[in-house]
Amino acid sequence: MAILDYYKDVSTAIDYYLSDVKTSKIGGIKTIELEDLYRIAKKLGFENQMRNTQVLAIGPFKKVEFVSMGLQNFNNETLKRIADIWIRHCKKVPGAFPGNVASLNSFETIGETIMIRYNEATFDQYIGTKRNGFSVLDLENPSYNKKVCLPISMGATTVTSDGKIPVGIRGKQKVSIAQGKAVSLPSGFLDPKEHIDHKKNPSIETLVKAELKEELKEKQLIKLEILGIIQVPDIRQPMFVIELKIPSTGEEIKQRLQKEIEIEEIDEIVFIEDNIEAVRDAGLDWTIDSMVKFTFHFAKQ
């Protein structure tokens, strides 16, 4: 069920967003307003996708803190269903791995900080429960975490030093989600045991750097900004919307990637100009989350 189906009409959906979305107000830094997102989405031609995406928080934010709420527990019936679905999934996607994920329990914003409470879960639990229950997250009554695994992820819009945005065409055989779709890079799930900071706490920055190195072979960052959190009902991944600036040019990235025998999960990487017209006219089959990420990116400018 999409958000507009749930709330019947656009005006009700907007009222819902305005009443429930968490926001950050940072002195001296341009903040994003919900109206900005709708205005930019219309210019991009992504208006329907924007309105069917739940905006959980609008930044920018400076810090993310994580608190573990322990293992995510499912009853025996759900565990059996997860196992059955995972077996079928692995037949479709050979090599699928049930790695660790951080399933959203609840969160709150405190000034410039997002406080995330999460349950420790695994990717097979996400695949096995994502069609069970909720399309819209009720932030005041997070009973969804007892029925579904909602793996925290991040998706970035990256801008090179020469004003290009790298875009990946996801593999048709190597990935389990959005096969063949165009996605802004990098993106990935948070592994609360691997993507950690020097204090052994889960870290969005560590996740971003790891995915940036893996997908674009880039080891340096000029800027990392957390623009917000979204939840796309179809894929049910609470996603940090990130904006990155890197020191490499598009050509330098191409040269590094040409040395790779294979780019994990990505069949091809293309580069488009960092402007609304170039994204709108690219003619690519975008993932919904990429459309929303671009909307945040241009609304911030």
**pLDDT tier for residue 72 given thresholds of 50, 70 and 90:** very high
Better-predicted residue by pLDDT, 214 or 94: 214
**pLDDT tier for residue 134 given thresholds of 50, 70 and 90:** confident
Query: Does residue 128 register a pLDDT over 90?
Result: yes
**pLDDT tier for residue 129 given thresholds of 50, 70 and 90:** very high
Give the H/E segment covering residue 144.
none
**pLDDT tier for residue 17 given thresholds of 50, 70 and 90:** very low
Least confident of 5-14, 68-77, 136-145, 270-279: 5-14
**pLDDT tier for residue 263 given thresholds of 50, 70 and 90:** low
- The closest alpha carbon to 63, from 205, 168, 207, 271, belongs to 205
Confirm if 107 and 116 have CB atoms less than 8 A apart.
yes
DSSP state of 30: P
Copy the structure tokens of residue 272.
């488009």
Stated pTM of the model: 0.88
Phi and psi (nearest 5°) for 57? -155, 145
CA distances from 225 to 14, 22, 48 (A): 25, 17, 25
Percent of the chain clearing pLDDT 70 (strictly above): 85
Confirm if 151 and 128 have CB atoms less than 8 A apart.
no
The reported pLDDT for the residue numbered 30 is 55
For the residues 167-180, what does the mean pLDDT come to?
Answer: 68
Q: Which amino acid is at 153?
A: S
The reported pLDDT for the residue numbered 32 is 84
Rounded CA-CA distance 128/135 in Å is 15
Average pLDDT, rounded, for the chain: 86
Least confident of 79-88, 128-137, 248-257: 128-137
Query: Does residue 9 register a pLDDT over 70?
Result: no
